[in-house]
């Protein structure tokens, strides 16, 4: 236990961390989870990190937007107008969220291309790759469900067309379409459904799969294009 001579907020934070560390060994866990060896030749390995940054930014701006957004056909559009015109920095938070959504998809795809080009999906990283595919679908799901939320003409018709596409699947098409819409047409039920998926189901899924993705990367280390891993055990 260290001796504290003055009670500044910094020292109080130190004391609190020490207290927790003595009980659950927090420092060792943090140090171990931050220690990933990056190969010297890695010039494009930041793309996954940028995608992760956009996810965190989306989570923060999304929570802020949810404080004012109201998910019903009568009030959704008005609440978005309220965010844009009345809420302090609401226009900024909404714009960061909308641009961040697009950029997250762009960087996720760039990250995936880097993995493909370097062959980093090969053994022993197949599970990381499969978790990545799940992350890509969840990321696209965020974009699809979020697009309906402003409940304007563009949102309504984009979702009508978007949910019509799985409707073309043989045999189960109409079932899938009605399941997504919560009925035959895009309606209040669709809005509630998409809002719930956007705010709860997808964030929880992404957080869970991402933890697995990062845990495996941490265990295996990143692929080194200059090293032939098939000759020896994974790092
Ligand atoms: C939300 C989306 C995603 C996030 C936040 C994310 C995050 C990361 C991070 C931080 C790394 C380590 C640094 C790096 O290689 O850039 C990584 C590695 C990796 N990611 Fe992702 N990722 C995502 C989506 C994907 C997708 C769509 C794929 C492929 C389908 C994928 C496959 C991989 C693989 C195979 C590795 C290991 C690469 C290596 O060992 O060199 N990830 N990911």
Q: Where does ligand 1 bind, in terms of residues with CB under 6 Å? A: 45, 47-49, 51-52, 55, 108, 111-112, 115, 120-121, 125, 128-129, 132-133, 135-136, 139, 210, 213, 217, 222-223
pLDDT tens by residue, 70-87 = 999 999 999 999 999 999
pLDDT tens by residue, 11-23 = 898 889 899 999 9
pLDDT of residue 129: 98
Burial 98-123 (b: 16+ CB within 10 A, else e): eebbebbbebbeebbebbeebebbee
pLDDT tens by residue, 189-216 = 999 999 999 999 999 999 999 999 999 9
How many whole angstroms from 14 Cα to the centroid of ligand 1?
34
How many whole angstroms from 234 Cα to the centroid of ligand 1?
17
User: Which CATH number is correct for 44-222, 2.10.70.10, 2.160.20.80, 3.20.20.450, 1.20.810.10?
Assistant: 1.20.810.10
pTM of the predicted structure, to 2 decimals: 0.89
pLDDT of residue 4: 60
How many whole angstroms from 39 Cα to the centroid of ligand 1?
15
pLDDT of residue 63: 98
pLDDT tens by residue, 11-60 = 898 889 899 999 998 888 888 877 777 887 777 889 999 999 999 999 99
How many whole angstroms from 93 Cα to the centroid of ligand 1?
27
DSSP label at residue 163: H
Are 118 and 225 spatial neighbours (Cβ–Cβ below 8 Å)?
yes
Instruction: List the chain domain ranges.
Output: 44-222
Which of 44, 104, 119, 132 to probe ligand 1 with, by most ligand atoms within 8 A of CB? 132
Residue closest by Cα to atom 22 of ligand 1: 48
- Looking at the CA of residue 133, tell me the nearest atom of ligand 1: 30
Rg (CA), the chain: 22
Query: DSSP of 178-200, one letter per residue?
Result: HHHHTSSS--HHHHHHHHHIIII
Confidence at 227, pLDDT banded by 50, 70, 90: confident
């Amino acid at each position: 236990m260290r001796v504290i001579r003055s009670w500044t907020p910094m020292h109080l934070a130190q004391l609190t961390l020490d207290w927790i560390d003595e009980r659950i060994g927090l420092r060792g866990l943090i140090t171990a989870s931050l220690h990933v060896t990056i190969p010297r030749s890695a010039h494009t390995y930041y793309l996954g990190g940028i995608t992760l940054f956009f996810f965190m930014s989306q989570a923060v701006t999304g929570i802020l937007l949810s404080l004012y957004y109201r998910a019903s056909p009568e009030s959704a559009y008005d609440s978005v107008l309220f965010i844009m015109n009345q809420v302090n920095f609401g226009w900024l938070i909404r714009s960061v969220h909308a641009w961040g959504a697009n950029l997250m998809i762009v960087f996720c795809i760039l990250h995936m291309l880097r993995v493909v080009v370097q062959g980093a999906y090969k053994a022993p990283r197949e599970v990381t790759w499969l978790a990545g595919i799940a992350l890509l679908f969840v990321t696209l799901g965020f974009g699809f469900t979020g697009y309906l939320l402003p409940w304007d003409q563009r949102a309504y018709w984009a979702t009508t067309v978007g949910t019509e596409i799985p409707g073309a699947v043989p045999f189960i098409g109409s079932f899938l379409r009605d399941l997504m819409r919560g009925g035959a047409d895009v309606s209040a039920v669709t809005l509630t459904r998409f809002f719930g998926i956007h705010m709860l189901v997808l964030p929880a899924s992404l957080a869970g799969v991402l933890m697995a993705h990062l845990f495996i990367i941490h265990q295996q280390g990143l692929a080194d294009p200059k090293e032939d891993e098939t000759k020896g055990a994974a790092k």
